[in-house]
Amino acid sequence: MGTISDYFGCLVFDDRVMKANLSSDVYRSLRKTIDQGAKLDASVANAVAAAMKDWAIANGATHFTHWFQPLTGITAEKHDSFISPAPDGGVIMDFSGKELIKGEPDASSFPSGGLRATFEARGYTAWDPTSYAFIKGKTLCIPTAFCSYGGEALDKKTPLLRSMEALNRQAMRILKLFGNKDVKCVRTSVGPEQEYFLIDKEMYDKRKDLIYTGRTLFGAKPPKGQEMDDHYFGVIKPRVAAYMADLNEELWKLGILAKTEHNEVAPAQHELAPIYTTTNVATDHNQLTMEIMQKVAAKHGLVCLLHEKPFAGVNGSGKHNNWSIATNTGVNLLSPGETPYENAQFLLFLCAVIKAVDDYQDLLRLSVATAGNDHRLGANEAPPAVVSIFLGDELMAILDAIENDTPYAGTQKTTMKLGVDVLPRFARDTTDRNRTSPFAFTGNKFEFRMLGSSNSIACANMMLNSAVAESLKIYADRLEGAEDFETALHEMIKKTIKDHKRILFNGNGYDDAWIAEAEKRGLCNYRTTPDCMPHLLDEKNVKMLTSHKVFTVAELESRCEIMLENYCKTVRIEATTMIDMARKQILPAVESYVSDLAKASAAKKAVAPAAACAYETGLITKLSVLTDQIAEKTDELETALLDLNGIADTKEESFAIRDTILGKMAALRAVADEAETQTAEKYWPFPTYGDLLFGVR
């Protein structure tokens, strides 16, 4: 395959290919569209399309697709071949600028939350030139946004791009006030760390729960779990290493900067982190990464599980969203600078994030809410459902000093006036790395750790960008009208610290005492998806998101509906799968074991009439109680599911699921898992936790 630098990005229509294959006029015009969002005229679009097509065909493509991210959370594509009939009976390969820019998939089956009646089925897809086209298999994939005919966003990319634009607008106002003249735009960047499980495909195929729901719904605790901490950063097993090598190669070909790989805490759990890039591209890349992870696994006889909680009792999988804001000139605005003004600017951006996270805790929480992630948040492996910020001791001390006009011990013994005194140079990451905080400052970026492994990072980032844009807007409004910039700046930073310090918490986020303390501080604690999702429509949230033009009211209403619907459907499928497995696999298995035990004891008695057969009798009694309980709990779950059909409102249904179905599922699982521990191995109808977690060697 050659060296990495030879093939890196070979499947991407990137800047190198554009430069080589477009006339300099067309190239310049396209660059302007990519860098500054300038409109592309038809002749340029045609030239780009022709070059793209030739390049794609030369690299083996026969089809093209508008690749988009509907609200299902995964990506969608509909392939069209390049062929077009020629008068002589043959075909020519054809692809126009029009086809590049706009597509009209018949997309009536994607969730729209009532935004688009089925009679106006056709949505349209629009080319996003800021994310490079690429080849997957035999198809040229063109990243696109997906909207209804009325122009409402039906996808995750559109609001993400809008939120980046909102943040750009407000950040530019602030930078201007600080005298930055050469900055043309501001963008957020993200490096998402992706966790996943790898299990054996043959074992996977025997588990209906994994096949239908992505997680195990039954399974007794194996003798060994993660208690020895021997998997984390452990030596990577040969089969996994081969998988990772293959995966990296596929990702590199797609221009994805896969960088770090290691074993995670749970057995069979691993992590992959790319080098960060612009949020929009990082989002596309993360979606692709998740897809390629699964595809490559199949080649290795493995299955990659991206569910947040595939196994009870060991850690689930998350996704850490490392996020920062940078100028087009390469300055990271969350990195403390060298000069007083840069430091004041840094503090202002830092405060903007603190204010944003406090004011919009609910939006951040709900941006990661799914039925799957509900199992993880607040368990002993992921941050609680309460949002808080970790800044580290040093930065906390600095903010303290500013708030109270007291000298900061780390510097000269004078009080700091921002913009005049040099902010003490504090080392990056001096304090221990707090792994328990949902939102941690790590030297020059924030790490949002609540995301579940299967979440699209678009959701978290659109909320984060919008909320920070709102803080910056409030700051800019105030500062632009200020008589004395420095005094106003100082007062505003002080006020932010005073008003929002309740969100700052450096301690152990896993501690129960913190949850009580957080409640006292008035922080939200929305434990489940039904608890938090309706807050999307709270007045303050609608006001903020619509004022920055990230969402319309109709889009927000539809999203809330879709997210709750997803929650309900997910749990319903899980419950139905449990009923199926209990009745068709678990009960018959235990019955046949009991019947063999009875036969064995009868046979013993035939030979030795005095034999007590206490073992068989005891076990049969125990298992008979358990089978009765399994049957009973299965029936109860079924009845509860049927009761849901009487509920018309999605929100009400989600509450009923939260309050009754989940409990009944847990009750059924408890007795079935107990039966597993009492049943001989060869009778158990599917691979156990031990098999699944330790089966890949």
Binding site for ligand ADP (CB under 6 A): 189-191, 193, 260, 273-276, 322-324, 332, 444-445
Measure the CA–CA gap between 617 and 388, rounded to whole angstroms. Answer: 56
Would the CA dihedral through 391, 393, 398, 403 be positive or negative? positive
Angle at which helices 157-177 and 279-299 cross, to 10°: 140
Q: Both tokens of residue 238?
A: 């040969």
Residue 324 interacts, among Mg ion, ligand ADP, none and using kind-specific CB cut-offs from 5 to 8 Å, with ligand ADP
Record the tokens describing residue 480, joined without a space. Answer: 């632009």
Distance CA 537, CA 284 (A): 27
Q: Which range of residues in 87-95, 187-195, 372-380, 603-611 is near Mg ion by CB under 5 A?
A: 187-195
In the complex with Mg ion, the residue whose CB is nearer, 191 or 214, is 191
Q: How far is the CB of 440 from ligand ADP (least distance, A)?
A: 9
C-beta of 337: minimal distance to ligand ADP in Å? 14
DSSP state of 501: G
Work out how close the CB of 344 gets to ligand ADP at its nearest, in angstroms, rounded to a whole number. 20
Tokens, residue 662:
């989940």
Q: How far apart are CA 438 and CA 450, in angstroms?
A: 6
Lay out the site mask for Mg ion across 282-301 (x = CB under 5 A, - = otherwise): --------------------
Binding of Mg ion by 195 (CB under 5 A): no
Partner that binds at residue 322, options ligand ADP, Mg ion, none, CB closer than 5 to 8 Å by kind: ligand ADP
Token representation of residue 470: 């709102």
**How far apart are alpha carbons 678 and 630 in whole angstroms?**
14
Q: How far is the CB of 447 from ligand ADP (least distance, A)?
A: 6
* Among the listed residues 560, 351, 307, the one whose alpha carbon sits nearest the alpha carbon of residue 476: 351
With CB cut-offs between 5 and 8 Å by kind, which of ligand ADP, Mg ion, none does residue 365 bind? none
CB of 180 to ligand ADP, least distance (A): 18
Nearer to ligand ADP, 50 or 185 (CB): 185
Which residue, 261 or 638, is less far from Mg ion as judged by CB? 261
Q: Residue 82: name its binding partner from ligand ADP, Mg ion, none (Cβ under 5 to 8 Å by kind).
A: none
Stretch near Mg ion under the rule CB under 5 A, chosen from 191-199, 292-300, 349-357, 577-585? 191-199
Number of residues that bind Mg ion (CB under 5 A): 1
Assign 3-state DSSP to the chain and report helix, strand, coil percentages, each to 5.
50, 15, 35
Structure tokens, 141:
């994939």
| Close Cβ partners of 42 (under 8 Å, ≥ 6 residues apart) | 97, 98
Q: Which two tokens stand for residue 291?
A: 């897809």
Which option in ligand ADP, Mg ion, none does residue 555 bind, with CB closer than 5 to 8 A by kind?
none
Nearest CB to ligand ADP, comparing residues 21 and 289: 289
Chosen from Mg ion, ligand ADP, none, partner binding at 593 (C-beta under 5 to 8 Å by type): none
**Contact (Cβ atoms closer than 8 angstroms) between residue 326 and residue 276:** no
4/248 Cα distance (integer angstroms): 10
What angle is formed at CA 5 by the lines to CA 3 and CA 9, rounded to 5 degrees? Answer: 120
CB of 181 to Mg ion, least distance (A): 38
Q: How far is the CB of 481 from ligand ADP (least distance, A)?
A: 32
Nearer to Mg ion by Cβ, of 193 and 358: the residue is 193
Which amino acid is located at 450 in the chain?
M
Residue 256 vs 582, nearer CB to ligand ADP: 256
Assign residue 518 a region: left if phi > 0, alpha if psi is -120 to 50, beta otherwise? alpha
- H or E stretch covering 617: helix 614-644
Quick one: what does residue 191 bind among Mg ion, ligand ADP, none, with the CB cut-off 5 to 8 Å set by partner type?
ligand ADP
Tell whether residue 193 is a contact of Mg ion (CB under 5 A).
yes
Q: Binds 189, which of ligand ADP, Mg ion, none (CB < 5 to 8 A, cut-off by type)?
A: ligand ADP
Provide the minimum distance between the beta carbon of 289 and ligand ADP in the complex, in angstroms, as a whole number. 12
Q: Residues with Cβ < 8 Å from 228, sequence gap 6 or more?
A: none
Cβ-closest position to ligand ADP:
191
Q: Which stretch binds Mg ion (CB under 5 A): 11-19, 173-181, 185-193, 640-648?
A: 185-193
Q: Is 359 in the site for Mg ion (CB under 5 A)?
A: no
Q: Would you say 262 or 549 has its CB closer to ligand ADP?
A: 262
What minimum distance in Å lies between the beta carbon of 314 and Mg ion? Answer: 18
273: β partners:
260
User: Could you tell me which residues come within 8 angstroms of residue 266 by beta carbon, excluding any fewer than 6 positions away?
Assistant: 197, 225, 226, 231, 311, 314, 315, 693
Q: At its nearest, how many Å lie between Mg ion and the CB of residue 381? A: 14
For 645, half-sphere exposure in the C-beta direction (CA atoms, 13 angstrom radius) is 4
DSSP 8-state assignment for residue 162: H
CA distances from 415 to 404, 462, 598 (A): 9, 38, 84
With respect to ligand ADP, which residue has the nearer C-beta, 246 or 261?
Answer: 261
CB of residue 488 vs ligand ADP: minimum separation in angstroms? 29
Q: Which residue has the tokens 């007045």?
A: 539
Beta-strand relationship, 258-263 and 83-85: unpaired
Choose between 225 and 443: whose C-beta lies nearer to ligand ADP.
443
Query: Which of 177/463 has CB closer to ligand ADP?
Result: 463
Q: For Mg ion, give the closer residue by CB, 193 or 574.
A: 193
Q: How far is the CB of 115 from Mg ion (least distance, A)?
A: 37
The residue range among 188-196, 294-302, 479-487, 493-501 that interacts with Mg ion, by the rule CB under 5 A, is 188-196
Q: Residues in the site for Mg ion, rule: CB under 5 A? A: 193
